[in-house]
Amino acid sequence: MGALKRPPLELADIVRARGDAFARTHVLTPEQKAVLRDIARCRTAELGGHKDVCSACGHLQALSYNSCRNRHCPKCQSLTQARWVEQRMTRMLPTHAFHVVFTLPRQLRRLALVNRELVFDLLFASAAATLLEFGRDPRHLGADLGITSVLHTWTRDLRFHPHVHCIVTGGGLSPDGSRWVAAPVRYLFPVRALGEVFRGKVLDGLRRAHDEGKLRFDGPAASFQDRDRFRHLCGRLQEIRWVAYCKPPFGDDTQVFRYLGQYTHRVGLSNHRLVAFDGRDVTFRTRGEARVTLEVDQFLRRFVLHVLPKGFVKIRHHGLFAAGNVTTKLAAARALLVAATTPAPNSPPASRAPRDFRELLLALTGLDLRHCSRCGALALLRVPLDPPPPPGPSARPSPTSTSPPPDTS
């Protein structure tokens, strides 16, 4: 694999050019301001860095600046994703799996904008409870499933669109723990029924939160404050179909978490989707070769809509994969599946995911930081650069608020 080329245009280029002006003229949360600041500083001298020097011949191999490590930065996710996949591989089960998606209807997105943690938590809980309920129902499987879920909040053109991706085991552990109950390879549960149960759980949770005074009604959510109007809206939402989508199963068990890794550490927009920025407008790809062009402030407004609350956990595990079941139910399920699996004769040993970041970088990009490019010796030393000078006077602070800027497009 050849080394990946740096994209000609990066999100950081746009943020450095217009981020300060955008922050001065828009109401941002502390988390949103921190994301813009981190992206602008990522892999620059401001964060310090290191140099790789060959101790055998003295050759300066590379000069690199440190990453910001912000989970919303498109440049800082590949190594994190690879490490996460390696860790999760120890918990995978040798069975097929399904990809199920649950989506919040558009009528509730303004409420979600202002009540992110509450609504996102409710999305996670409702999706997992729906799947576990169907799994335990004797009419379907009568067994406990393993579920890993990840929250996404965007469409391909960066509009606010909260939905949860769930990877679900193709079967489950029987209630007494004595056997593995396999699901059909091409079918898990009826998606229309999944959507109906999911709808009921979300609406019940929102009604309780409204009655208990746990919802905020700032800005775009002001119309939800009146109890009667909110109840009327919930009644109308009860009558429409909610989207629950089950994709066909994929690959063998080795591919399950590698597949999910594509979703867990994805941000709203990768640098490779950016096409052009002329100082006023930003053009980026949506799907395939389709493109959209946004005025730069609108582009940044849409991007910061997807900044998660500080400390919010966007990847969660349920059922067999829940932390409390790892050494009990999950271990029992793995033992049953392994015992039922006959290894192929002369099958190659399972590959090990690379652990050292240099191995990860080599696997992902083809860039080898282990050997000297001049003499070939395995003798590269990482030497910190001199610390950067202290920052100058801070820029004029931007307005603060706990409410994100609404997308008025």
Q: Where are the domains of the chain?
A: 1-76+354-409, 95-268+306-340
Please tell me whether residue 1 adopts helix, strand or coil conformation. coil
Pair 126, 316: CB distance under 8 Å: no
For 253-283, how does the pLDDT look when each residue is reduced to its tens digit (9 = 90+)? Answer: 556 656 666 666 678 888 999 999 999 999 9
What letter would DSSP give residue 264? H
- Cβ burial of 198 (10 Å; 0-12, 13-18, 19+) is buried
Give the three-state DSSP class for 382: strand
| Residue 403 confidence (pLDDT) | 45
CB atoms within 10 A of CB 381: 12
For the sheet containing 281-285, what is the strand order? 274-277, 281-285, 291-295
Specify whether the CB–CB gap between 317 and 323 falls below 8 A: yes
Predicted TM-score (pTM) of this structure? 0.82
Q: Evaluate whether 379 touches 54 at the Cβ level (below 8 Å).
A: yes
- Residue 113's pLDDT is what? 94
311: left (phi over 0), alpha (psi -120 to 50) or beta: left
Give mean pLDDT in consecutive 10-residue pieces for the chain, a chain of 409 residues: 67 95 94 94 83 77 76 76 63 86 96 96 98 96 94 95 93 96 91 96 97 93 92 95 81 60 73 94 93 97 94 93 94 92 49 52 54 72 68 46 46
CA distance 370 to 378: 6
Nearest to 88 by CA among 401, 315, 409: 315
CA 82 vs CA 7, 67, 150, 262, 266: distances in Å: 21, 16, 16, 10, 12
